[in-house]
Amino acid sequence: MCMGGNKVVLKMAATYASERQQFGQPIGNFGAIKHKLAEMAIRNFATESATYRTSQLMQDKKNAEAAAGGSYGQSMLEAAEEYAIECSILKVLGSEVTDYCVDENVQIHGGIGYSEEYPAARAYRDSRINRIYEGTNEINRLLMIDQLFKRALKGELDIVSPAWAVQKELASMPSMERLEGPYAEETKAVADFKKIILMTAGGAAKMQMDGKLNLKEEQEIIMNCADMMIDLFAAESLLLRVRKLSEKQEKAQPQEVYDAMLQVFLHDATARMTKNATDGIASFAEGDLQKTFLMGLKRFNKYPAVNVKEKRRLIADAVLKAGGWCF
């Protein structure tokens, strides 16, 4: 629902940006407007990628349960339970991307965007409920981490071994290997995002196990970890989709447009991951332990800088040419 609304809003914004003249030219020619249009497209493309991926995972799980003799209802229930974390991620991501899109759409429309005579104001008003119903976004963030730890304690999900591997990596010399092949930097960035989460969430969990922390009373740390999980799942889903598109001959846009969306998203997500990890680590670790974690963080946030200005202009030009969603 949110993704569909985002596409309608992007068309609304692109149409107005092409028609509205200022200083003798359409406002869509200006870099500030291109930034908004491109970012609306990037965030919704990432959300769509994560949603398609989760839908397929749930479908595969349902089919596997049915093939094993489960009833239709039981198979659906098992699939929903298996991917409850991903569903919470999608609820938060979708609703917050929609809020971004409708807000920037009003801004692109200027004064008339605030008038109830135009649809921009209605979209802005109506979108606000999405972050509240079906479980507030805060509740869904708490559920992500709660489900993660519950599965780990039940032995359904091994996060101890990967977390220990990250700890060992922190104690070793940094690797000087050169990355080669298509999307090598992007693949490494996603792998490093996982290490950042394992280091931060694993550190907090260890503090709780040692009786030095009660995560039930530390919701800020849980929110930091949840936001990192959201960025990771969106980034990995986007990478998988863009890589698959690179193998196709026929697609809606040239591959460079999809590559640009992936690169800009990872550039920005790296900064968000760094901020959330730093906040989380500083909230539970002190002294040498904190220094060790923060040094580790610097090792895992090495995605190279991207010329986001030119990449966003490329994406925005595709949106303006098509008059809206075109991916």
Question: What's the pLDDT band for 257 if we cut at 50, 70, 90?
Answer: very high
Instruction: Say what the pLDDT of residue 260 is.
Output: 98
Domains along the chain?
Answer: 2-136+314-322 (1.20.140.10), 157-308 (1.20.140.10)
The pLDDT of residue 302? 93
Q: Tell me what percent of the residues of the chain surpass a pLDDT of 70.
A: 99
Considering 48, 78, 104, 134, which one is annotated as catalytic? Answer: 134
**Nearest residue to 255 (alpha-carbon basis) of 245, 269, 267:** 245
Residue 163 has pLDDT above 80, yes or no: no
**pTM, whole model, 2 decimals?**
0.94
CB atoms within 10 A of CB 189: 25
What is the tens place of the pLDDT at every residue in 130-141? 999 999 999 999
Closest by Cα among 274, 260, 257 to 189: 274
What is the number of residues in the chain? Answer: 327
* Beta strand 21-22 pairing with 25-26: antiparallel
Which residues on adjacent β-strands are paired with residue 231? none
Q: Is residue 220 annotated as a catalytic residue, yes or no?
A: no
pLDDT over threshold 80, residue 55: yes
